[in-house]
Amino acid sequence: MGNKLKRTIFASQETDFVASQSKHHVVKVHSFFPVDRANCKCKQLIFEWNQKLGQATKEVREALLAQTPVLECPAVDKRRMNKYQIICKNCGETQGFCWASNETLRDWVDFHYTQWSKGDFWRGCFTPHISPISQQLCFECCCGQDTRDFRANMTMSQKSAESKEAENAIGREFGRSDSKFLVKRVS
């Protein structure tokens, strides 16, 4: 793993300002809401929290977020699962964390992405994506590493979607030596 950037996603002036004002001159983003399959029962929890946060005053919202660092999906019994960290093999940046039975992540749940910036450009998970066909967890890393599934894309031409899908399918499966992303057990 190295720092092989295929592209640069620049941070905004606001991000640069926030980074310059922070203790370590870094802006870190960890998803508050879990990313899960469309049929997961945590969607109701996410809806309720969106309502609660949207209707709260700034002070109440800040207090709620301070008391609850991240929302965890309550729909699945995780006692037989392990927590995994997903790392881009191209640039070495952590994409996020999820729970699964093994490193293939076939039964993944409760994914939380992570990204960060020194105010210059973004590193980490740019776009978490759930395949609309296989429900597999896919990523677009800020460095350009990409496993997203374009088979159901209706905005691209068929030729472009097929080409992008063929490129992104290479190394998509987790837990294999040819995977674009390393899966590391953390608990």
Decide: helix, strand or coil at residue 129: strand
- Give the tens place of pLDDT for each residue, 120-132: 999 999 989 998 8
pLDDT number for residue 89: 96
CB neighbour burial string for 128-137, b if at least 16 within 10 angstroms, e if fewer: bbbbeeeebb
- Give the tens place of pLDDT for each residue, 127-155: 899 988 889 999 999 999 999 888 888 78
Q: CA–CA separation, 55 vs 133, rounded Å?
A: 35
149: number of Cβ within 10 Å: 20
User: H/E element holding 130?
Assistant: strand 122-130
- Give the tens place of pLDDT for each residue, 36-73: 888 888 888 889 999 999 999 999 988 988 888 888 88
- Give the tens place of pLDDT for each residue, 152-171: 887 888 888 888 888 888 99
Cα torsion 89, 93, 95, 100 to 10°: value is 60
Q: CA–CA separation, 68 vs 62, rounded Å?
A: 10
